[in-house]
Copies of this chain bind each other. A is one copy, B any other.
């Protein structure tokens, strides 16, 4: 009663190297949902298959085992994240750095604050950060490192050439930390300030706040001597 004669593609001949795509794709979608809500270890193959309307043996048949299914989901995660982030990085490199910083914050926040199916992969990434699996290396290399280097470039433009590279890196981390916070600490925020937890509707407001906070900090620290002043009480 759960799957009524799933649509089968006609081009899936038995001789072709690729079998019917339906079950495999449904398995991937269902796995993303379950992995996102339960985590890798707590997610069960049976629950994934039940959600996909497939037999328990389907995971073993189509992916080999649970771990390789997770890897496939995470590969899709990285692919989607890169698709969202790449255009923001490449577009309008001649824009003023303040504007580019705002665009970066907004695109990353839109991933963080996503709701519904779009939020699945962000949730999986958040779990992967605290409880990494072997698949994290690939995500860092393909998605996070380009993001980090882009942001460092923007920060460099804002603070000028005199600031050491190590400081630029720390400054960039202070920016992203404000964004990721609303993903990692959402359960805490929901309990601290019930009812006013930022969702997709607050994208504009949050973008404005984080960008303004970061710009004020970067401009203040770029002024020579201000760093020392900020330190001494």
CB A176 to nearest CB in B, in angstroms, measures: 8
| Interface of A, helix, strand, loop or mixed by DSSP | helix
Closest to A123 in B: B130
Asked whether, in the complex, the Cβ of A184 is within 8 Å of the Cβ of B217, the reply is: no
A130-B130, A177-B178, A184-B129 known; A231-B217 Cβ under 8 A: no
Can you list 29 A-B contacts (CB < 8 A)?
A41-B41, A42-B42, A95-B233, A96-B233, A102-B233, A127-B131, A128-B187, A129-B184, A130-B184, A130-B187, A132-B187, A136-B187, A141-B191, A144-B192, A169-B193, A174-B210, A176-B181, A177-B177, A178-B178, A184-B184, A211-B230, A211-B231, A215-B230, A216-B216, A216-B217, A216-B226, A217-B217, A219-B230, A220-B220
Partner of A230, one of B128, B130, B145, B216: B216
Candidates B39, B144, B181, B188; contact of A41 at CB < 8 Å? B39
- Assess whether B136 is in contact with A188, with CB atoms less than 8 Å apart: yes
A175 CB to closest chain B CB (Å) equals 9
Which of B42, B137, B177, B178 makes the CB contact (< 8 A) with A191? Answer: B137
Given A130-B130, A177-B178, A233-B99; A136-B220 close (CB under 8 Å): no
What's the least CB distance linking A92 to chain B, in Å?
11
Cα–Cα, bound, A227→B217 (Å): 12
Asked if A25 CB lies within 8 Å of chain B CBs, one says no
Q: Is A57 an interface residue (CB 8 A)?
A: no
A213 and B187 CA atoms in complex are apart in Å by 26
In the complex, what residues of B have CB within 8 A of residue A144's CB?
Answer: 188, 192
User: Closest 10 interchain pairs by CB?
Assistant: A216-B220, A177-B181, A217-B217, A99-B233, A132-B187, A212-B230, A140-B191, A215-B230, A216-B217, A184-B184
At the interface, yes or no: A5 with Cβ under 8 Å from chain B?
A: no
